[in-house]
Amino acid sequence: AQRVTQPEKLLSVFKGAPVELKCNYSYSGSPELFWYVQYSRQRLQLLLRHISRESIKGFTADLNKGETSFHLKKPFAQEEDSAMYYCALGTGGFKTIFGAGTRLFVKA
Amino acid sequence: SAVISQKPSRDICQRGTSLTIQCQVDSQVTMMFWYRQQPGQSLTLIATANQGSEATYESGFVIDKFPISRPNLTFSTLTVSNMSPEDSSIYLCSVLAGGRNNEQFFGPGTRLTVL
């Protein structure tokens, strides 16, 4: 079955602390993984995708096919990182499967 | 990229009535989707709106309840029919930029409350 699992509904860290949002996927083919973010009162938007291998706003994510994971990491969290984060799986077609989301709260 | 607008942004409706949500895109797109985002939950795909043909519905969603129109490559509507309080949710329009496995762009959403 095609599935995306984000085990944490809420993650709370202090400003300056490292943050890791976990994402595991289930897919038998070659996956395309994304992280989407929704800031307060803004629309859902793409943060990064594994194929581009870039760092956006200090966030990185590495696809680990052995562990079927695509965790999102940032070494030093900022207050403006507080948002809802969704891990998403592209399955070779036009549909994207979204995880349940993790709300990140960065405390001052 | 694609800029998406939705109308209305929010509405409060009575049980048993219907609401039609409009989605307008600033460029022609092939793939257009409708999602539901219930409070505290993830996005659930309702259907893919196909231009010139009937929408493709996901399991658990039917055309009688969620009729969709797609008259051209920049516009779609989703109707929530015979509403009940369980239909209270945010409804999102989304488009796929480019081909398969590409970035999706989302509208601002329509917040629906059914009393």
Residue B77 C-alpha, separation from nearest chain A C-alpha, in angstroms: 19
Please list every residue in chain B whose beta carbon sits closer than 8 Å to the beta carbon of residue A47. Answer: none
Please list every residue in chain A whose beta carbon sits closer than 8 Å to the beta carbon of residue B41. Answer: 100
**Contact at 8 Å (CB) between A63 and A45?**
no
pLDDT at B102: 74
Under the banding of pLDDT at 50, 70 and 90, the label for residue B99 is: low
Please list every residue in chain B whose beta carbon sits closer than 8 Å to the beta carbon of residue A9. Answer: 40
pLDDT at B96: 86
Q: How many Å apart are CA B106 and CA A18, to the nearest integer?
A: 29
Residue A33 C-alpha, separation from nearest chain B C-alpha, in angstroms: 9
- 3-state class (DSSP) for residue B59: coil
CA A89 vs CA A11, A93, A94, B89: distances in Å: 21, 10, 11, 23
* DSSP string across chain A: --EEE---SEEEEETTS-EEE--EEE-SS--EEEEEEE-TTS--EEEEEGGG---BTTBEE--BTTTTB--EEESS--GGG-EEEEEEEE-SSS-EEE---EEEEEE-
Does residue B53 belong to the interface with chain A, where contact is any CB pair within 8 Å? no
Q: How many Å apart are CA B95 and CA A32, to the nearest integer?
A: 17
**Contact at 8 Å (CB) between B4 and B24?**
yes
Region A76-105: mean pLDDT is 91
Instruction: Give me the percent of chain B exceeding a pLDDT of 90.
Output: 77
Does residue B42 belong to the interface with chain A, where contact is any CB pair within 8 Å? yes
pLDDT at B98: 67
Q: How many CB pairs under 8 A join A and B?
A: 38
pLDDT at B101: 58
For residue A36, which phi and psi values (nearest 5 degrees)?
Answer: -110, 150
**Contact at 8 Å (CB) between B100 and A90?**
yes
Please list every residue in chain A whose beta carbon sits closer than 8 Å to the beta carbon of residue B101. Answer: 32, 90, 92
pLDDT at A103: 95
Residue-wise pLDDT for A17-36, tens only, equals: 999 999 999 998 888 899 99
pLDDT at A19: 97
Residue B17 has pLDDT above 90, yes or no: yes
pLDDT at B100: 55
CA neighbor of B36 nearest in space, from B61, B71, B16:
B61
Region B80-99: mean pLDDT is 91
Per DSSP, B1 falls in state -
CB contact under 8 A, A94 and B104: no
Please list every residue in chain B whose beta carbon sits closer than 8 Å to the beta carbon of residue A92. Answer: 100-101
> Among partner residues A32, A90, A99, which is closest to B42 by beta-carbon distance?
A99
Does residue B73 belong to the interface with chain A, where contact is any CB pair within 8 Å? no
Between A54 and B72, whose confidence is greater? B72
